[in-house]
Structure formats: structure tokens, C-alpha cells
Amino acid sequence: MNEYEYMQRRKHLTLGAIGFVAFCFIANSVKADNTTVQDHYKNVILKKPYQVEVCYDQQTSGDKTGDAIKGAIIGGLLGNNIKGEQDGGAIGAVIGGMLGHANSNATGGTRTVCNVETRYNEESQTIYSHSTITFVYEGQQYNLKFNK
């Protein structure tokens, strides 16, 4: 048998198998004259997204900057009033800033922080994968895979 005859034979077998499947489309598994058509299924996981707002408490530190600046201003004014000291204002500002920071009443606390997150519901589902037809032609068994 040459390649052309082989291709013709294969074409006829395929067309015959498809024709047979057309008559058996209602059944899940049909047997007739050593011919079987069977559907195959597979399990898949479907992920469905949804949004959710998640909130949590976050620790915060107190802001002592304002108290340090106030102390530096007061210390600078007092330092300028020192007689005989040329850099009294600068020294007073540094010392006043440090004292203002150290004596600050600003304390840390908590604040609520919220973020929107995407989460997924997962659902297992069985879906159609493909079908196969198995038949015997001239003493040889053939298997064809196809989709409906």
C-alpha cells in the first residue's frame, strides 16, 4: 500500500468514525459491533474572586518634634540674654531643644489601618474533556480522540 492509499484509507476511517459518533451523540457509552464511544471528564478548580476589607491596629510613636522646637526657641531667647557670651543663643537653643524633647508628653498609641484584599472562593467541578471511539476495521482496532 503506498502513501496515497494509506491516506485515503485513513480519511475514510476517520469520516466513518465521525459519522458513527453522530448517531451515538446521546449516549455516554455505546457499544455496537465491537465499537465503543466513551466520554472522558476531568476535575478542575474554579477560583471566584471577591473583595474584603481587612483592618488591624498599628502601633504609632508620639511626635515630639513640636515640643523640641518650642524648647529650642525658648532656650535661644534665654541664651541671648546671657551677658558676655557671644554664642549664648545657639547654646540655649540646643539645650532647650533637648530639654523640650526629653520632657515631652507626646506618647505613642494605636491607629486602625484598613486595606482591601482580594481573596478567592475555590470550587471543584467535573467538566467534559474529550471523547474516544474504539472500533475494529478489517481485523485491526482503531482509537480516535475527538471533541463534541
Q: Is 71 exposed, middle or buried (0-12, 13-18, 19+ CB in 10 A)?
A: buried
Average pLDDT over residues 8-20: 59
Query: Would 23 be classed as within a structural domain?
Result: no
Containing structural domain, residue 98: 63-106
d(CA 131, CA 102): 80
CA 15 – CA 19 distance, rounded (Å): 6
Q: Is 33 part of any domain?
A: no
Is 79 among the domain residues? yes
DSSP percent split of the chain into helix, strand, coil, nearest 5: 35, 45, 20
Residue 72 and residue 76: Cα distance in Å, rounded?
A: 6
Give me the pLDDT at residue 16, please: 56
- Specify if 67 maps to a domain: yes
* Domain count along the chain: 1
pLDDT tens column, 16-43: 556 555 555 444 444 446 788 999 999 9
Q: What number of residues does the chain have?
A: 148
**Which is more confidently placed, 3 or 110?**
110
Backbone angles phi, psi at 33, to 5 degrees: 50, 55
In a domain, 3, yes or no: no
Residue 101 lies in a domain: yes
Q: What is the pTM of this model?
A: 0.38
Output the pLDDT for position 13: 57
3-class DSSP state for residue 38? strand
What was the pLDDT predicted at 70? Answer: 77
Please write the tens of the pLDDT for every residue from 68-92. 777 778 777 777 776 566 667 777 7
Average pLDDT over residues 107-130: 89
pLDDT confidence band for 60 (50 / 70 / 90): confident
Cα separation, 29 vs 15, in Å, equals: 20
Domain assignment present for residue 8? The answer is no
The answer as to whether 14 is a domain residue is no
108 vs 58: CA distance, rounded Å: 10
How do strand 109-137 and strand 29-32 relate by DSSP bridges?
Answer: unpaired
**CA–CA dist 100, 64 (Å, integer):** 8
pLDDT for the residue 11: 62
